[in-house]
């Protein structure tokens, strides 16, 4: 069994110390409303840490994009990587609410050897299992962030857990996010899941008005490590 990876969502350089000191393995950086941040913000965050930083590529509040936006996204990705980012995060759907493999493959192809994560767009697709299969062959993909439902893990947890337990491809790439609670972690780990994202859970009062707190992150770090240790003992 590999180690459990903890990704922490950040929005400001002042979020970085808490994430880093608490034991995060990777940072997920977005701008206001989950959109692409300004390159200056990416640079400021990357200067504060040696952790991998994945930056959101998104220019509108839908799961689609246009040719003009794509040109801008490729340019932004270059700026982000030049500022110290390690990878990016994006996800596009077509008009039929299927994973837009053509668009995703094009963007990934413009960023050779750059790791990326597919965002929660997958939760709006009509068939999660089919969506995962459509993503399987895209180059550079390292994780798929999902809650199993657009309404979060409170609704989608059972289906997502069953899917991960039944399909090694899902378990290998799934990164639960979107309302993750502590009680769900051991079950995901037993199903083979090794990547997790926290956002509001890393902040006092679960408020974005507060910066990421090291003690909050550390509690999740310890939870993941304990769940993995228990799973390893059971498997052994």
- Look over the chain and give the mean of its residue pLDDT values, rounded to a whole number: 95
Residue 2: predicted pLDDT: 62
User: Which of the following CATH numbers is that of domain 5-235: 3.30.499.10, 3.40.1390.10, 3.20.20.380, 3.20.20.70?
Assistant: 3.20.20.380
Question: What is the per-residue pLDDT across 145-181, written as a single tens digit (0 to 9) for each?
Answer: 999 999 999 999 999 999 999 999 999 999 999 999 9
Whether pLDDT at 182 is above 80: yes
Residue 3: predicted pLDDT: 86
**Residue from 17, 94, 73 nearest 50 by CA:** 17
The pLDDT > 70 percentage for the chain reads 99
Question: What is the per-residue pLDDT across 26-57, written as a single tens digit (0 to 9) for each?
Answer: 999 999 889 999 999 999 999 999 999 999 99
Whether pLDDT at 1 is above 70: no
Question: What is the per-residue pLDDT across 81-90, written as a single tens digit (0 to 9) for each?
Answer: 999 999 999 9
- Residue ranges of domains in the chain: 5-235
Q: pTM here?
A: 0.95
Give the confidence band of 62 by pLDDT, cuts at 50, 70, 90: confident
């Amino acid at each position: 069994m590999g180690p459990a990876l903890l990704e922490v969502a950040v929005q400001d350089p002042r979020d970085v110390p808490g994430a880093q000191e608490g034991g995060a393995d990777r940072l997920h950086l977005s701008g206001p409303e989950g959109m692409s941040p300004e390159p200056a913000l990416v640079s400021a965050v990357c200067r504060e840490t040696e952790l991998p930083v994945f930056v959101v590529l998104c220019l509108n509040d839908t799961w689609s994009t246009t040719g003009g936006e794509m040109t801008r996204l490729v340019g932004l990705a270059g700026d982000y990587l030049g500022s110290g980012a390690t990878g990016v995060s994006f996800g596009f759907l077509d008009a039929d609410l299927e994973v837009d493999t053509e668009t995703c493959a094009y963007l990934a192809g413009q960023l050779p050897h750059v790791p990326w994560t597919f965002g929660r767009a997958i939760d709006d697709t009509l068939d999660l299992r089919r969506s995962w299969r459509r993503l399987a062959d895209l180059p550079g993909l390292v994780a798929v962030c999902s809650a199993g439902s657009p309404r979060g893990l409170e609704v989608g947890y059972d289906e997502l857990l069953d899917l991960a337990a039944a399909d090694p491809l899902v378990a290998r790439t799934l990164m639960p996010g979107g309302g993750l609670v502590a009680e769900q972690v051991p079950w995901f780990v037993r199903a083979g899941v090794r990547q997790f994202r926290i956002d509001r859970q890393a902040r006092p009062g679960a408020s974005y008005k507060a910066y990421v707190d090291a003690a909050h992150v550390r509690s999740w770090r310890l939870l993941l490590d304990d769940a993995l240790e228990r799973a390893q003992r059971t498997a052994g």
